[in-house]
Structure 1
Amino acid sequence: AIADTFEARRGERMAWYSSATMVGRFLAPFVGGVLIFGDDFRWVYLADGFAGVLAFLAAVRLPLATATSGSAWQTFKRQRGRYGQEIAFVLRHPGILATSGIEAVQYFAFGSLETFLPIYLNEKLGYPAWKIGLLFTVQILSATLTKPVVGRLSDRYGRVPMIAGGLALGGIATGVIILYPDYLTIAVLSAIFGLGLATVTASTSALVADLSRAQGRGGALGILSSIMDIGHSTGPMVAGVLVAAYSYQMTFEIVGSLLVLISLVYWSGMRRLATRTDQSQRFL
């Protein structure tokens, strides 16, 4: 809905939406804990239901991108051929697939970091759980607060440079965070990784929306999300194999180097693709 509603400043608007969801996820455990009185969980679920009703009322007031008649099922039957064509268009579009792959690579690193950095900090450096949790709070806050800013920058300076730069920044932070035992340095590097994450994800969804056709925009963003989930889920598995085979330091250096290398490949490939398709304004 955000992508359909806002053609101008799409990156900034979608980044505000993403930051709002992150705020909700950040506050939910705290608010839920406050609403638990002894063994009474009723107030938690009542609050959930109330929030869901408010979200529903807000959703029904959203403007429709296109007017429809009849039920959703009737609309689907009338336009199922077009849906298939739009999905096929997305799956054949190299820019959309490459950008979705970048999102997967970013979340591959994120999954690796959030799984094995706490274990390393606890087992090797002896940091308590509350200090480790605070590091990831700093990371999420960094990503949440900077997303609208980097989304606006992607509107002004282009999606691809922001994506490539953010991925490289996150790769550098991932590769060196394991080298410093000092808590403050780790916190700064964690915040830098959050900034890189925000820079990438604020621009990937906007670029996929830019490159897709209006009728298939939802499908394109759905494919982006699905590919991202694959990267997020495989990160801990692959990192676990690397930790077992080598070491924590080698694992983080490999993951960080992978991000930097892929950022360069993506930037170069998208520039060539933009030149070949004469769509440099849309890509860059």
Structure 2
Amino acid sequence: MAQNIQRQGEGSSASAPAERELTRGQRQTLLITAVAGHGIKHLMNAAFPVLLPEMKTALGFSNTQIGILSSARFFAGGLANFPAGYIADTFTKLRAIVLGLSIAGIGIAYFLAGITTSFWLITIITSLMVVSISLWHPAAIGSLSRNFTSRRGFAISLHGTGGSVGEAAGPIVAGVLLGFFTWQFIFQGAIVPALILGFVIWFVLRRVPADISQATSFGDYAVGLRTLLSNRRLLLVLLFTGGFAGAQATMYTFLPIYLREDVSLSPGTVGLYLSLLNLPGLASQPAMGYLSDRWGRKAVLTPAMASLGVFYLVLGVVPGTSNLLLGFEVPGGIELVATILAAGLFFYPMMAIFLASASDLAPADVQSTTVSLVFGVATLVGFLGPLAAGVIADTYSLQATFYFCATLVLTAAFVSAVTRWEGQRQYAASD
């Protein structure tokens, strides 16, 4: 495998066909199930930030503790991505089992976190939740990348759109549930739908033939991973992704706490506003994927990162005071809502383009490994974001964390603009 990577070189494309050709119907089943499952995964994951302020208040956690908890979750997810990529590339026949267990594991972790009040136990258990989440991406995206080579950006973006639906729905669902139940009850109850949906995903995907894996030893995998990391252009993509992920993790952690504590919004309204942060991505994500396939990844990513950085800056200065629109009160103010919506155009969709950019630079037999590398490095670098932001919030203010986010993303946009990092993309007529 390492020799294959070396032959591809820095500017190579992962253009080799899938080892086993799927029928059109099988590809559609794979795509639909991957998109739907991704939405379910993100719905459960996106509920967590809305529940977090309630946990913080009920258990008396500080902003610094919340930063530690969030950073630990990202760090654990980053570490888990590497073996997840190895498993997905080497044991492709386990794809259905891995994806089903990923969903079921989230519910199990929610349940365990809901029956304890210890900060450190909650930190450990919710970190294991992210480990389960990390199992999804390498197996799902790697398989899509191998089976939709000429429309990779679009397929991965469509998969990401499913995640956007989940990210938009999760906060609303959590906010509504908090109107009737405690955060502990919601945590404990999550195990039921998770086990059912995990079984359904396994049952459907077991009928879709998996790609034929090459029996790669862990030693070969490690050598191949080191070779990937010697690719200068791929390292730049990982750098951009890390800056973006650090800011995203910080926003996920402290925006709901800011809305709940400083703006004094209800849990339901916090859930609605977090949904607005992801809702625009339903339209922008497939559009960005399509445009990146036609115009190039850099032409889409660089202005998108710059725009997101500007909107983070604006979040740091909007007053957050309620005002009227057409005679109706807008909690937190029109300016706050408009800024959240604008940031939502780029907040979630860009990860799909980072993934497509990395996939362009890697050979076909390590697509899952490449996906795990992107998510792994992003979360390992990004985990420092909430940790630093928690100290910033306790020292200065919650709004100051938004300036920190802007700095990370604008720096990544600048480096992207002044460097050459794109790989080749395949231009086949159709998949």
Kindly indicate whether the alpha-carbon contact (under 8 Å) linking 1:139 and 1:194 is maintained by their aligned counterparts in 2.
yes
| Alignment of 1:242 onto 2:423 | no
Identify which of 44, 53, 60 aligns with 2:206.
60
Per-residue CA deviations over 1:13-40 (Å, capped at 9, x if unaligned) read 111112224434655684996xx99x9x
Q: Which residue of 2 aligns with 1:11?
A: 153
| Alignment of 1:23 onto 2:173 | no
Kindly indicate whether the alpha-carbon contact (under 8 Å) linking 1:142 and 1:194 is maintained by their aligned counterparts in 2.
yes
> How big is the shift at 1:232?
4.1
- Summarize the alignment of residues 150-165 of structure 1 with structure 2, pairs less than 5 Å apart: 150-165=288-303
Q: Which residue of 2 aligns with 1:189?
A: 339
**Percentage of matched positions with identical amino acids:** 23
> How big is the shift at 1:256?
0.8
- Summarize the alignment of residues 193-208 of structure 1 with structure 2, pairs less than 5 Å apart: 193-208=343-358
| Alignment of 1:218 onto 2:218 | no
Gaps of 5+ in 2: 1-142, 322-332, 427-431
Q: TM-score, normalised by structure 1?
A: 0.79
Q: How big is the alpha-carbon RMSD for the aligned residues of Structure 1 and Structure 2?
A: 3.3
Q: TM-score, normalised by structure 2?
A: 0.54
CA–CA distance in 1 between the matches of 2:298 and 2:144? Answer: 20
Q: Which residue of 2 aligns with 1:117?
A: 255
Check 1:99–1:67 CA distance in 2 against 1; reply closer, same or farther (3 A cut): closer
Per-residue CA deviations over 1:167-191 (Å, capped at 9, x if unaligned) read 1111111111121125222122112
| Alignment of 1:149 onto 2:287 | yes
CA–CA distance in 1 between the matches of 2:263 and 2:334? Answer: 13
Check 1:114–1:82 CA distance in 2 against 1; reply closer, same or farther (3 A cut): closer
Please state which structure has a larger fraction of its residues in helix.
1
- Poorly superposed stretches of 4+, deviation over 6 Å: 41-44
Q: Report the AA paired with residue 259 of structure 1.
A: V
Kindly indicate whether the alpha-carbon contact (under 8 Å) linking 2:242 and 2:381 is maintained by their aligned counterparts in 1.
yes
CA–CA distance in 1 between the matches of 2:190 and 2:390? Answer: 36
Per-residue CA deviations over 1:182-211 (Å, capped at 9, x if unaligned) read 522212211222211234212101111111
Kindly indicate whether the alpha-carbon contact (under 8 Å) linking 2:250 and 2:401 is maintained by their aligned counterparts in 1.
no
> Secondary structure of 1:127's partner?
coil
Identify which of 313, 317, 339 aligns with 1:179.
317
Check 1:138–1:160 CA distance in 2 against 1; reply closer, same or farther (3 A cut): same
Kindly indicate whether the alpha-carbon contact (under 8 Å) linking 1:162 and 1:199 is maintained by their aligned counterparts in 2.
no
CA–CA distance in 2 between the matches of 1:106 and 1:10? Answer: 21
> How big is the shift at 1:160?
1.6
Aligned residues: 266
Identify which of 244, 252, 274 aligns with 1:106.
244
Check 1:27–1:178 CA distance in 2 against 1; reply closer, same or farther (3 A cut): closer
> Secondary structure of 2:239's partner?
helix
Check 1:62–1:154 CA distance in 2 against 1; reply closer, same or farther (3 A cut): farther
- Summarize the alignment of residues 120-139 of structure 1 with structure 2, pairs less than 5 Å apart: 120-139=258-277
Check 1:171–1:44 CA distance in 2 against 1; reply closer, same or farther (3 A cut): closer
Q: Report the AA paired with residue 343 of structure 2.
A: F
Gaps of 5+ in 1: 69-74
